[in-house]
Chains A and B, each alone.
Chain A
């Protein structure tokens, strides 16, 4: 399990070395999320069309180690974009991956880039 979790490390816009093309913008539901696969990683990608912004994070919920976050509801808390896990509704900031319920869980987040209606996720390796 630990192994599964350890694969996911936050990547920032600046330290992204590869931009992996994951699909067309229309493959991702407006104001919703979907999951993509990159090598052995599952990444949740969210299309906040209301604010024209995109976010990505690990699909693995650190609470019970299930691959479910892409299926969670998204929204904001006082302007911070967030996702609620569909299993027990723990919520995470999509800006820095911190847990918004004040618990220790944390998720890795990834940068997203849109070019010519295509969606790219930044990875460091």
Chain B
């Protein structure tokens, strides 16, 4: 067995292991990996999501047991301190000594901290590891408690902007300090930077260009930054993002050749000056360059694996540095050479200050070739442009069509299937179009999920996702292999198709549906789906076709473990008067019901027998209550915090707004239950971001978040639009909810729906905010129609003797069910145990 030692378990070190494991000769090697960090390799590219919605575990490239399963010895928290080239061995800070046949240096880089006086003060951070982020988080909450909230980021590059966004997510006021006269100086020209600057400023982030920092001032902790132009900025926290320095110290000490400005020299085989030692990733100095991106690092990992296992793959001579900015609420991308302009190459630009869009492409004067470009404000064409540039594809007759959109309406590229087979679709994993199409054609992969699983395409930076999705869909279509999802044996359609059919054919009952578009008698799967669709289209209450309702809806109550029911009247926004509270208490006492405050800010009365339901509801309705639809796949609660009426921090009246919204959507049936929340300020006491839709009061209006939930797979809701007035907010909510109701699968809540929605939140924003499908007015009108038709179904049921007839335990007797037994529970009762 040959011994391979890998130093560094970062993204590239991990990729090396992954590629090696996949190699047919993997058995011939014994691999030991050393990582200085306390946890196995994680996805640094998506590190910022640690602040929003990913846990450290979710960020892992592979769980710990992956290494075990593949017999790779992983030693975390262990720093390699010396290499003995002569004896081919390494030593660690724990005094482990280990021989190697091949040594892989994947030590990455560390953030560059410029020699500025005072940069060692408390409150100064770098942005590279989970520990860095944890430290920032706890420091931010400490300073916020004493009312301090100003954070600066030193460096206006890609990472700096990401860090600024993170500071904002931590609830701080963020500033970006950049030495150059423009943002992202390596990727953007001045016009692009100006456009980006105004976008970012409108998000509330301060931008300070042309600023050289002289000193970080403060007693123990940072208080102020002084600049060379004699200005200063008061700050309570600083994140330094001023570039990276390769971690070549190990190589340097042991006599491996390093570059004058750092980095370990490697040839096209990734070999260092010692042929048994390879360097890959951000530490490698290849072709005079250090590449701070995953894609080249992954390619290096592959080359090293190939070379060691006897292959002959070498690194390409030129390395592509195209990038897209994630996360900052605006789209930015740059590809190829963004700046070239000379006697043979011209720049074509398009600028629209109104909508904040800037596009630039650099094309050969004779119109034959695309060299690079920049996109700000709208990067939807990035993948296409990148393909054209990268594969040196032919340009359209009028190259400006590339950024203006061809006036014929088709995509500028035609079909994705027109790309050459060699076109590299996922550059992180170097997956070509041919590989994706072939595995679909040969049947080794059946769908997108399979493709991602076996090729790993889209799992790096994720930028290629839209194109991979397109490619998979188009290929499957061309193979006539569109897999059809249908809800059950009785209807050969999915929910969205059923929704459309019911609407177009004006089908009104389940029997009619079976007769026209279905077969058989139906079942417990299609019945509730159809019930929900009828109700979403006609606002039918569950009283119209009780027998097709899910068990709970049929009796307008939640069935409990002993066959009795619970009663949850609506308490909009959680606001309830003492009088009404007393009524609930009295009713509960009279019918001997177990009472409990629910997790949804209302009161649940348990243990009502079927025949008692109408009696109890009659009393509640007389006292002004109505159904809370706790049993339905429908709007449950809109949780609120007390808000500006009482709370000293409140910015808007969250209770009033929550009540309005709850009343607007009460009774609305949907593919799964819907919950909302309204918080009066960013302290978020209503947990609005844990709901399908949430509103948080900010300066100037409401921020609207969508597609969150608690439950088994918690997801934070994502920002859809900012600083909305009440009216716009309701408008967007109408559109969002109606769009969800129309298109989601049965029992798919908003978060998994969004996960599956092609184009994700950006697409949703386009549909809801920009009305890209031109259906906004229709969605609003539909919702208004449903809102107007609302009726309390319990009121209907108790007032109509025919409807009330179903709440009888026996058809042929007035007896009640004598098998129900209770046992005592504290001051109340509960069903006897199963």
Do A and B pair up? The answer is yes
Closest Cβ neighbor of A82 among chain B residues? B523
Q: In the complex the two chains form, is A4's CB within 8 Å of B819's CB?
A: yes
Q: In the complex the two chains form, is B561's CB within 8 Å of A35's CB?
A: no
Q: Which of A4, A73, A81 contacts B547 (CB 8 A)?
A: A73
Is residue A31 contacting chain B, with contact meaning CB distance below 8 A? yes
Within 8 A of A (CB), among B652-696: none
What is the CA–CA distance of A45 and B819 in the complex, to the nearest angstrom?
19
Is residue B87 contacting chain A, with contact meaning CB distance below 8 A? no
Given A30-B547, A31-B547, A66-B563: A23 in contact with B811 (beta carbons within 8 A): yes
Within 8 A of A (CB), among B236-250: none
What is the CA–CA distance of A75 and B520 in the complex, to the nearest angstrom?
8
Q: In the complex the two chains form, is A71's CB within 8 Å of B811's CB?
A: no
Is residue B231 contacting chain A, with contact meaning CB distance below 8 A? no
Report the tally of A-B residue pairs with Cβ distances under 8 A: 102
Is residue A9 contacting chain B, with contact meaning CB distance below 8 A? no
Q: In the complex the two chains form, is A22's CB within 8 Å of B812's CB?
A: yes
Within 8 A of A (CB), among B803-820: 806, 808-813, 815, 817, 819-820
Q: Which of B520, B812, B834 contacts A76 (CB 8 A)?
A: B520
Is residue A68 contacting chain B, with contact meaning CB distance below 8 A? yes
What is the CA–CA distance of A86 and B555 in the complex, to the nearest angstrom?
11
Closest Cβ neighbor of A50 among chain B residues? B521
Chain B's interface size range is: 35 or more
Within 8 A of B (CB), among A33-51: 34-37, 42, 45, 48, 50-51
Q: Which of B489, B490, B524, B812 contacts A73 (CB 8 A)?
A: B524
What is the CA–CA distance of A17 and B610 in the complex, to the nearest angstrom?
32
Residues on the A chain within 8 Å of B810, using CB: 35-37, 42
What is the CA–CA distance of A81 and B522 in the complex, to the nearest angstrom?
10
What is the CA–CA distance of A81 and B524 in the complex, to the nearest angstrom?
12
Chain A's interface size range is: 35 or more
Closest Cβ neighbor of B490 among chain A residues? A75
Closest Cβ neighbor of B524 among chain A residues? A84
Q: In the complex the two chains form, is B819's CB within 8 Å of A50's CB?
A: no
Q: In the complex the two chains form, is B551's CB within 8 Å of A73's CB?
A: yes
Contact with B along A59-94 (1 / 0, CB 8 A): 000001111100111111111011010110101000
What's the least CB distance linking B831 to chain A, in Å?
A: 9
Q: In the complex the two chains form, is B812's CB within 8 Å of A81's CB?
A: no
Closest Cβ neighbor of A34 among chain B residues? B811
Q: In the complex the two chains form, is A91's CB within 8 Å of B546's CB?
A: no
What is the CA–CA distance of A106 and B552 in the complex, to the nearest angstrom?
24
What is the CA–CA distance of A82 and B563 in the complex, to the nearest angstrom?
20
What's the least CB distance linking B612 to chain A, in Å?
A: 15
Contact with B along A18-38 (1 / 0, CB 8 A): 000011000111111011110
Is residue B180 contacting chain A, with contact meaning CB distance below 8 A? no
Given A29-B547, A35-B809: A86 in contact with B559 (beta carbons within 8 A): yes
Residues on the B chain within 8 Å of A76, using CB: 520-523
Q: In the complex the two chains form, is A42's CB within 8 Å of B817's CB?
A: yes
Binding site for B on A (CB under 8 A): 4, 22-23, 27-32, 34-37, 42, 45, 48, 50-51, 64-68, 71-79, 81-82, 84, 86-87, 89, 91
Pick 23 A–B contacts, CB within 8 A, sort by A. A29-B806, A31-B511, A31-B522, A31-B548, A32-B547, A35-B810, A64-B834, A66-B561, A67-B817, A68-B559, A71-B551, A71-B554, A71-B610, A73-B524, A73-B548, A75-B490, A75-B522, A76-B521, A78-B489, A79-B520, A84-B524, A86-B552, A87-B563
Binding site for A on B (CB under 8 A): 489-490, 510-511, 514, 520-524, 526-528, 546-548, 550-552, 554-555, 559, 561-563, 610, 806, 808-813, 815, 817, 819-820, 834
Q: Which 7 A-B pairs have the closest CB atoms?
A: A86-B551, A32-B547, A75-B523, A84-B524, A76-B521, A73-B524, A66-B563
Known A-B contacts: A37-B815, A64-B561, A73-B548. Give 5 more (CB < 8 A): A27-B811, A29-B806, A37-B813, A67-B820, A75-B526
